[in-house]
Amino acid sequence: VRESQSEEMVQRIRCLARPDLITFTSPSTVRGLVGLLQRAERVQWMSETVNASVGPVTAAELTRLGFSSTVVA
Q: How far apart are CA 7 and CA 13, in angstroms?
A: 10
Q: What is the pLDDT of residue 14?
A: 86
Cβ-in-10-Å burial (0-12, 13-18, 19+) of 58 comes to buried
Is residue 52 within 8 A of residue 21, CB to CB? The reply is: yes
Contact present, 62 and 53 (Cβ < 8 Å): yes
Reported pTM: 0.82
- For residue range 11-43, what is the model confidence (pLDDT) as tens digits? 888 888 888 999 999 999 999 989 888 888 888
Local structure of residue 41 (DSSP, 8 states): T
